[in-house]
A = this chain, B = another copy of it.
Amino acid sequence: MDVYDILINMKILSLLNKKRVFLDYASTTPVLPEVLSAMKPFWNNKFANSSSLYAEAVVAKKAIENSRTDVARVLGARAQEIYFTGSGTESNNLAILGLFEFYRNKFVPHIITTTIEHPAVLEVCREIERRGGDVTYVSPEANGIVSAKDIFSKITERTILVTVMMANNEIGTVQPIALIARLIKKRREEKNTILPLIHTDACQAGNYLSLLVSTSGVDMLTLDGGKIYGPKGVGMLFVKKEIQINPIVWGGGQERGLRSGTENVSGIVGFAKALTIANRDRSAESARLSVFRDFLVKEILAISPNITLNGDSVMRLPNNINVCLPGMLGEFVVIKMDTLGVAISSGSACGTLSDTGASHVLKAIGKEECASSSIRITLGKYTTKKDLVFFLDCLKRIIAK
């Protein structure tokens, strides 16, 4: 056991001794007991490979197709428009790279996205540039919301895709997807063309915003099981009928040829159950958490006049609070809060892997000085008023020092 191991074990031990408050639901959510119950039969009872011919396989196949129907219902889509994948990240890759690869030999495809997307979109776009495609990155306004007109003005004859997240993972701002989709649809009709398509990464929106594709008008939509109280390792991509994209993983031809690999039956069943519950609880949970969010914002801003809210105060997810604490290092606050028993985040979980911890989202909205000085608090199903009070108490102790 080396020093690093000892430090880690000390950190883990601290979990046993202290009250813990988890306020980082945007990074991932626990699996609901009802979801686990739904998954359970498919681990070692109904475990068959759905591609086989015998009765056990038919049971597995039926479970998958029932799940597909359940998911389609939440999206207001057709069952055959729902594709199960291994994660939200994979779904984004499939949507964007898959469409690019389909068109790449026909002309030089152009894609429009925003500067505040998750790495699962931004890194795909960078790969597309390496593969010879063109990408336009549109920055949002200072409130963290992109202008539909800005996006629309960048469309060219070669634009195959506009991909804009439904809600931002760091600052929770909700993007005008329906408006963008409407402008695009109008243009397609006028020009009598099927392009560009519109894709949205709805990973952060799954619990709180309507996912009805008839309302939003999107052509492709990404969800992730691990963000909606379902299992990790399973995602979903909605692809509107008639749209052709290439697979990014090749093999046995599962998911109607778009995503090969033996189907993760328990994962798919769990995903559908989680999404169904998220849909059922959407209004009540959004209302409950909005009150908590607004309370927390008010109380945090009251600690010091220097503190500012990052992102629009109204057009944001009900569970997201992101504040700039000038003069403090966000990561330092996260680590101090951790020692006091509170789990929060500086920026997103994914950002911590690849860069210095400075937020590309805050830079994009012109708050360069806040890029390393902000913290994200995200609420969830198990968050209580007591948790908020405890959080505020801890935060005040750190800021007072």
Q: Find A44's partner among B30, B53, B123, B337 (CB 8 Å cutoff).
A: B30
Q: How far does the Cβ of A227 sit from chain B's closest Cβ, in whole Å?
A: 8
Contacts of A232 in B (CB 8 A): 262-267
Instruction: Check if A27 sits within 8 Å of B12, measured CB to CB.
Output: no
A28 to B334, CA, bound (A): 43
Instruction: Check if A261 sits within 8 Å of B352, measured CB to CB.
Output: no
Given contacts A44-B32, A260-B119, A262-B28, contact A252 B353 (CB under 8 A): yes
Q: How far does the Cβ of A129 sit from chain B's closest Cβ, in whole Å?
A: 12
Instruction: Check if B28 sits within 8 Å of A233, measured CB to CB.
Output: no
Q: How far does the Cβ of A241 sit from chain B's closest Cβ, in whole Å?
A: 20
A310 within 8 A of B: no
* One of A88-96, A149-157, A189-197, A291-299 at the interface: A88-96
A92 to B87, CA, bound (A): 18
- How many copies of this chain are found per oligomer? 2
* One of A55-63, A133-141, A281-289, A317-325 at the interface: A55-63
8 Å CB interface, A209-260 against B: 224, 226, 231-234, 248-254, 260
Instruction: Check if B350 sits within 8 Å of A251, measured CB to CB.
Output: yes
8 Å CB interface, A79-93 against B: 86-90, 92-93
Q: How far does the Cβ of A245 sit from chain B's closest Cβ, in whole Å?
A: 14
Instruction: Check if B231 sits within 8 Å of A234, measured CB to CB.
Output: no
A328 to B119, CA, bound (A): 54
Given contacts A226-B262, A250-B93, A253-B354, contact A31 B47 (CB under 8 A): yes
Instruction: Check if B86 sits within 8 Å of A252, measured CB to CB.
Output: no
A170 within 8 A of B: no
Residues of A in contact with B, size category: 35 or more
Contacts of A119 in B (CB 8 A): 250-253, 260
Instruction: Check if B251 sits within 8 Å of A89, measured CB to CB.
Output: yes
Instruction: Check if A47 sits within 8 Å of B27, measured CB to CB.
Output: no
8 Å CB interface, A27-43 against B: 27-33, 36, 43
Instruction: Check if A51 sits within 8 Å of B251, measured CB to CB.
Output: no
Q: Find A55's partner among B12, B28, B33 (CB 8 Å cutoff).
A: B12
Given contacts A15-B59, A53-B334, A55-B14, contact A350 B253 (CB under 8 A): yes
Contacts of A263 in B (CB 8 A): 232
A33 to B58, CA, bound (A): 24
A279 within 8 A of B: no
A304 within 8 A of B: no
A385 within 8 A of B: no
Given contacts A55-B14, A56-B15, A350-B253, contact A87 B86 (CB under 8 A): yes
Contacts of A107 in B (CB 8 A): none
Instruction: Check if B89 sits within 8 Å of A86, measured CB to CB.
Output: no
A73 to B123, CA, bound (A): 33
| Shortest Cβ distance from A40 into B: residue | B36
A349 within 8 A of B: yes
Given contacts A55-B15, A127-B250, contact A233 B86 (CB under 8 A): yes
Q: How far does the Cβ of A128 sit from chain B's closest Cβ, in whole Å?
A: 9
Instruction: Check if B62 sits within 8 Å of A12, measured CB to CB.
Output: yes
A18 to B121, CA, bound (A): 50
A92 to B11, CA, bound (A): 37
Q: How far does the Cβ of A68 sit from chain B's closest Cβ, in whole Å?
A: 15
Contacts of A11 in B (CB 8 A): 55, 58
A273 within 8 A of B: no
Given contacts A124-B250, A251-B120, contact A90 B261 (CB under 8 A): yes
A49 within 8 A of B: yes
A-B contacts, 11 of them at CB < 8 A, read: A27-B262, A52-B352, A53-B331, A86-B87, A93-B248, A123-B252, A232-B267, A233-B264, A233-B267, A252-B353, A253-B353
